[in-house]
Structure 1
Amino acid sequence: MTLRQPVTHLALVRASSGRSAELGARLRDLLEPSLRTPGCLGFTVQRSQADADLWLLSGSWQDQQAMRGYFASPTLELFGELVQARVVSSLDLHTFD
């Protein structure tokens, strides 16, 4: 029997100059669909108090398989759109178990 271990992802997302409000609105659109994803234990979007262009996405997942399923889901197509539209200037993703 395999033990399921919760995992977390943290993504630091930097908005392109002058596009932070737009980025924040689009990232907040991820909240509801992410929270409804099977295996999601929690999901938050936060803006830095010290840097108005820096956003934090944090998700907790039942296990690695649930997180991988989320990363492969259509919900995350939003990131590709934001990068292509140059709303995002950088993305730094980390996972933890």
Structure 2
Amino acid sequence: MHWQTPIEHELQIHPRLGHEAELGALIDNLVDGARRAPGCLRCQLVARENGEPWLLQGSWKDEEALLDYFATPSLQLLGEVLLCHCRSLSGGIVETLDQATGKVA
């Protein structure tokens, strides 16, 4: 059963020291896409100082709008890029964002 009332979410993000700018750019893309999505009432990243977690906050018209957004190809691609970014932080196979996105110099 789908909820017909507005849905709000808040996700805590703990960026690794020295990778805040790169991760921030990826999340900015996520926020921009969400804001353009039908049914998005609000989406924002609250970046905090002193090692406190960042907060990704959003509000959606209803469950259907949020599920439709989750199913978009751009969100799936961003999820893959974020996963590659996390792997690169732990010494995985992807060393740069360019490799993760397939961007050619």
Q: Under TM normalisation by the shorter chain, which class is it?
A: 0.7 to 0.9
TM-score, with structure 2 as normaliser: 0.68
Identity of aligned residues (%): 34
Alpha-carbon distance between aligned partners in 1 of 2:13 and 2:54, rounded to the nearest angstrom: 5
Alpha-carbon distance between aligned partners in 1 of 2:60 and 2:19, rounded to the nearest angstrom: 29
User: Shift in Å at residue 3 of structure 1?
Assistant: 7.6
Deviations 1:36-91 (A, max 9, x none): 10110011012123326x322111000011111112222323132112222678xx
TM-score, with structure 1 as normaliser: 0.72
Q: Which structure features the higher share of strand residues?
A: 1
Q: Which runs of 5+ in 2 are unaligned?
A: 91-105
State whether residues 10 and 56 of structure 2, in contact with CA within 8 Å, keep that contact through their aligned partners in structure 1: yes
Letter in 2 for 1:71: F
Q: Which runs of 5+ in 1 are unaligned?
A: 90-97
Alpha-carbon distance between aligned partners in 1 of 2:11 and 2:21, rounded to the nearest angstrom: 17
In terms of Rg, which structure is larger? 2
How many residues are matched?
A: 87
Deviations 1:18-46 (A, max 9, x none): 21111012111223221110110011012
Structure 2 counterparts to residues 1-97 of structure 1, below 5 A: 4-51=4-51, 54-77=53-76, 78-86=78-86
Q: Which structure features the higher share of helix residues?
A: 2
